[in-house]
Every structure is written in C-alpha cells, then in structure tokens.
Amino acid sequence: MTSSRLTLGLASGLVAGLALAAPADAFDIGAMSAPEREAFGEAVRSYLMENPEVLVEAITVLEQRQFAQAAENDGALIAMNRDAILDDGHSWVGGNLEGDVTLVEFVDYRCGFCRRAHPEVEALIAQDGNIRLILKEFPILGEQSTLASRFAVAVQQQAGDDSYKAAHDALMELRGDVTIPTLERLAGELGLDAPAVIAHMNAESVSEVLRANHQLAERLRISGTPTFILEDQMLRGYLPLEGMQEMVAAVRDN
C-alpha cells in the first residue's frame, strides 16, 4: 500500500469514527453536499499532514487489532484440529513426554530458517526440561525437500523413533544437495539398513504421512516453515531462543 492510499484509508477511518462518535444531529456526513464533503476531507487531510503522529498512532492501533484478530483466528483453527496436531499417530514426539506444555514444529529440511531454528529448539527443550516436542514433516521447497522428508519418515517406520531423531538432526545439518546416494551414505553413517530405508521411501505409508501433514497444514492455513504451535498459539516463522522462552513463560502464566 502506498503512503497516499494509507493516508486516505486512515483519513476515511477517522471520518467514519467521527461520524459514529458524534450525535446524529451534530454530524451527518451523508447530509453534506459534495462541496462540503470535499472541504471536510481536505480539512482532515490537512490535520493529518500537520499532525503526522496521529498517523503513527493509528497505524500502531491498526496493527495491534490485526495481530489480535490473527491470534484469535489461529486459536480457533488450532482448537478445531487439536487431535490431528497433538495425536496424529505418526509424528515423532520427544522432549518431556509428560511436559506441561507442547511445542509442535512444521519443518522442511531445505528451509534456511528451519536450520537456523534447529539448535534454538534443541536448546529450549534441553534447558526447560518440561516441554513436549512434536515434529511434523512438511516439505514444501521442491524435490529435495520431499526426498529428505521421505527419508526421515522411512527411517522412522523402518527403524523407530530414536533413529528418526538421529536422521532428523543429520538432515538439518546436511549441506549440499539431497540425493539418493547422499541419503544412502547418511543411512550407513547412522547404522541403518540403507537399502531397506531407501526402498521404503516410496511406500504408500510414507506418502500417507506427508499427505496428512499437508492436509493439516492447509486446514491451519500454514504455508511456510518453520511454523510453531505452542498450545493455542501459532508462530509463523523463526524466533530466537529468548523469544521462544518468553512465549513458553507467557503460556504458563496463563
């Protein structure tokens, strides 16, 4: 939005606010003639130009209202999909399984911000000690993302949760292209049956997991990674460790 359109929009909002706040017989913009409306609009514009701090205040209030509305909408989406978020039967669950709060992360191994968040999330879980962590494979950045997620899910289905977490960590730290030879090597380094894991990557059970995660993300209106769900709150994007700690503390306070 250009500054002129923003000014016009805020001015219109100010006019509407004045109309609602004033007694009906004292202010009726609908009863104004065209010249009167034009003069009134020019007066509002002049006032805003002479008092730009009003615009700053109005923008701040607007952003706060939009943030509050978005948070409310996210809370409703989370409530409607709580079972699929917390207990889908296939996502890896770790941290403190009896933790007082649950953190869910939608991840893509080719996402730079997911990689940046990885050590922060690990530190949060280790330092806090009372958070349950759920990881959801959500490859959205192309063929290599899908290969990596298929590998991770195949490892989980073939070798269990501990091996999945080891593969997850390794994929987050992997540099270079994700290829079948790379994944074969990685499986060997993790002590896995590489041929079995690679063969299982295209199994329907793996496809079902990724399909279910994508469908859940669509219902939650998640389109990017990392996306975190902390109880009834959603964080769309990277947040440093200190910020995550503050969010966890705020959830507990509530």
- Structural domains present in the chain: 3-79 (no CATH), 83-253 (3.40.30.10)
Q: What is the pLDDT of residue 20?
A: 44
- 241-253 and 112-128 are packed helices; what angle lies between their axes, rounded to 10 degrees? 50
Structure tokens at 198: 């690679």
- Alpha carbons 238 and 141: distance in angstroms, whole number: 16
- Which residues, in sequence order, are CB contacts of 26 under 8 Å at separation 6+? none
Which carries the bigger pLDDT value, residue 167 or residue 45? Answer: 167
- Alpha carbons 231 and 60: distance in angstroms, whole number: 27
3-state secondary structure of 235: strand
Structure tokens at 197: 């894991």
10 close to 59: Cβ distance less than 8 angstroms: yes
Q: Which amino acid is at 102?
A: T
Q: What are phi and psi of 99, to 5 degrees?
A: -60, 155
Over the stretch 121-137, which tens digit does the pLDDT of each residue have?
Answer: 999 999 999 999 999 99
Over the stretch 215-240, which tens digit does the pLDDT of each residue have?
Answer: 999 999 999 999 999 999 999 899 99
3-state secondary structure of 56: helix
What percentage of the chain has pLDDT greater than the value 90? 69
Q: What is the pLDDT of residue 97?
A: 96
Instruction: Provide DSSP, 91-158.
Output: SEEEE-TT-SEEEEEEE-TT-HHHHHHHHHHHHHHHHH--EEEEEEE---S-HHHHHHHHHHHHHHHH
226 close to 114: Cβ distance less than 8 angstroms: yes
Q: Is residue 192's pLDDT more than 90? A: yes
Predicted confidence band of residue 22 (pLDDT cuts 50, 70, 90): very low
Nearest CA-CA partner of 148 in 193, 118, 180: 180
CA angle 81, 86, 92 (to 5 degrees): 135
